[in-house]
Amino acid sequence: MTDSIRLFDSHCHIDFSHFDDDRDAMFERMAAVGVEGCVVVGVDFGHIDSLRELAQARDNVWFSVGIHPNHEVEVEPTIEQLCELADHPRCVAIGETGMDFFRHHVDPDIQENRFRTHIRAAKMLNKPVIVHNRDADEASIQILRDEQISKCGGIMHCFSADMATADAAIELGMHISFSGNVTFKRNEELREVAANVPAELLLVETDSPYLAPMPFRGKRNEPAFVKQVAECIAEVRGRPLSELAAQTTANTRRIFNISN
């Protein structure tokens, strides 16, 4: 592991089949650049076993339980189901959940009810909520406000909205997490948001295997590439990478209640 840099990938999907051929080597590459841990995020109930197995096999992996807003299911999750599935010592969050108006695989009313169910389960468990928001800023913020998200806290994952949306989420006590898209050349406005999020609420992630940062754009993403995300944000904030990495790692451990 790199001595001077401590990074944490706050959101990835390394249980996916994209990593079946080189998962062990992927963990080695993580360690080589100073990534000391990652949260593997649930998108449906079918992956629960693989998430648990991965977290139990590795002392630097934690996981979450949830159904993605655009994942089609025959029966909607209940608060009781979410609480039961999240009853594991290495489950640190509920989600990802939220609202997505970019793709319409799931009706917005169903997405909203699902989102509220996840938040209510999270409050019962006192675990943070991992929020997916795409082209649904107003709806997402309103639901977070209605459901009193501050009682359990949460993360606006792979943030891609404007500063007004960030400010609204911050006012509710939400953390803001940035992924590889913050490095894309056209995303100057997003980098401006990253420059202004309060340091104590800032996280970095990969969302791997998706959204690989520059200069890997178009390739499969992986947790080691969170370093490029951190480098970009450190530059726009005018801070050393080691400082930015230490801050975001401390923030990740705090919001997810990860002590070891």
Residue 132 annotated as lining a ligand binding site: yes
In whole angstroms, how far apart are CA 168 and each of 136, 143, 260?
Answer: 13, 12, 32
Residue 207 annotated as lining a ligand binding site: yes
Residue 13 annotated as lining a ligand binding site: yes
Tokens 């370093």 correspond to what residue?
Answer: 227
pLDDT tens across 3-45, in order?
579 999 999 999 999 999 999 999 999 999 999 999 999 999 9
From the list 41, 19, 18, the residue with the least C-alpha distance to 205 is: 41
Question: Mind giving me the DSSP string for 22-33?
Answer: THHHHHHHHHHT
Say what the pTM is. Answer: 0.96
Whether the CB-CB separation of 245 and 253 falls below 8 Å is answered with no
Domains in the chain and their CATH numbers? 7-255 (3.20.20.140)
Q: Which two tokens stand for residue 81?
A: 């189901």
Residues 113 and 28: their CA atoms lie apart, in Å, by 40
Residues 68 and 217: their CA atoms lie apart, in Å, by 24
Cα angle 164-170-175, degrees, rounded to a multiple of 5: 120
Distance of CA 35 to the CA centre of its chain: 15
Give the model's pLDDT for residue 131: 98
Question: Mind giving me the DSSP string for 62-106?
Answer: EEEE---TT---SS---HHHHHHHT-STTEEEEEEEEEESSS-SS
Residue 96 annotated as lining a ligand binding site: yes
Profile the chain (260 residues) by mean pLDDT over runs of 10 residues.
80 96 97 98 94 96 97 95 97 97 89 98 98 97 98 98 98 98 97 98 98 96 98 98 98 95
Residue 88 annotated as lining a ligand binding site: no
Give the model's pLDDT for residue 3: 54
Residue 100 annotated as lining a ligand binding site: no
